[in-house]
Chain A
Amino acid sequence: RKEVEQDPGPFNVPEGATVAFNCTYSNSASQSFFWYRQDCRKEPKLLMSVYSSGNEDGRFTAQLNRASQYISLLIRDSKLSDSATYLCVVTYYNTDKLIFGTGTRLQVFP
């Protein structure tokens, strides 16, 4: 079983739609959680950290459920520029090693 699992998609949604991505992690010792965005043939870039209390950044909302070992990302009012692969990432306590899921591909169409 992979340490971080994501639905690879693709998710094809129209502009303005709301879309949600889910991610599960297997190791309960996981400490920190992130969503990265990766455009085609580019490097991953940090989209947002994920906190137990949940956090919001504009149209993006991230949630963490430690009991279920589950992370989510909600994108509201999708834009064409949101088309990318979204990578779920966890780290363990006292380590800088990022553990990535395979990514979920989002395609927003006009």
Chain B
Amino acid sequence: ETGVTQSPTHLIKTRGQQVTLRCSSQSGHNTVSWYQQALGQGPQFIFQYYREEENGRGNFPPRFSGLQFPNYSSELNVNALELDDSALYLCASSSRGTYNEQFFGPGTRLTVL
């Protein structure tokens, strides 16, 4: 069984730039959720994708956007980066119908300078 993978592992950007983070879901999973974890905080829900459509969104501005592809992998895009966007970005995959159990990838650590 292949677990959740994310790329890149680390990324450094400057304010105003754009970034794309990628996630491959676990084999057999069709739902991908994205979370942002700032230092010393718990993960915060950004949004979820199911069958290539956004299926729920947290309290994040529109400059956070995403995609899900037919193979259930997903991208998180952040435009006009701000210093406060520096965080660990976690992707979690799950299977619709499974009672909320989500499996997390190792995360992408984004630093905005």
0 or 1 for each of B22-64: is its CB under 8 Å from A? (1 = yes): 0000000001010100001111110010000001101000000
Give the docked Cα–Cα distance between A34 and B42 (Å).
Answer: 14
Q: How many of chain A's residues have a CB under 8 angstroms from any CB in B?
A: 20
Instruction: Return A26 CB to nearest CB of chain B, in Å.
Output: 14
B90 pairs with A44, CB closer than 8 A: yes
Q: Which residue of B lies closest to A46 (CB)?
A: B101
Residue B105 at the chain A interface, CB threshold 8 Å:
yes
Q: How far is the CA of A43 from the CA of B107 in the complex (A)?
A: 7
| Residue of A87, A95, A101, A102 touching B40 (CB-CB under 8 A) | A102
| Residues B101 and A98 in contact, CB atoms below 8 Å apart | no
**Structural contact, B42 and A97, CB atoms closer than 8 A:** no
Q: Which of A8, A34, A87, A98 has the most CB of B within 10 A?
A: A98
Q: How many B residues have CB within 8 A of the partner chain?
A: 25
Q: Chain B nearest CB: distance from A18 CB in Å? A: 24
Which chain B positions have C-beta within 8 A of A4?
A: 42
Q: Count CB-based A-B contacts (< 8 Å).
A: 53
> In this assembly, does B100 line the interface, its C-beta being within 8 Å of a C-beta of chain A?
yes
Q: A32-B99, A44-B90, A102-B40 are in contact. Are A97 and B104 (CB under 8 A)?
A: no
User: Nearest Cβ distance between residue A57 and chain B, in whole angstroms?
Assistant: 15
Per-residue interface assignment for chain A, residues 1 to 29, with 1 indicating a CB less than 8 Å from any chain B CB and 0 otherwise: 00010001000000000000000000000
**Least distance between A108 CB and chain B CB atoms (Å):** 20
- CB neighbours (8 Å) of A45 from chain B are 104
Contacts of A103 in B (CB 8 A): 41-42
15 A-B pairs with CB atoms under 8 Å apart are A4-B42, A8-B40, A43-B105, A44-B104, A87-B42, A96-B31, A96-B55, A96-B102, A97-B33, A97-B45, A97-B56, A98-B33, A98-B92, A100-B44, A102-B42
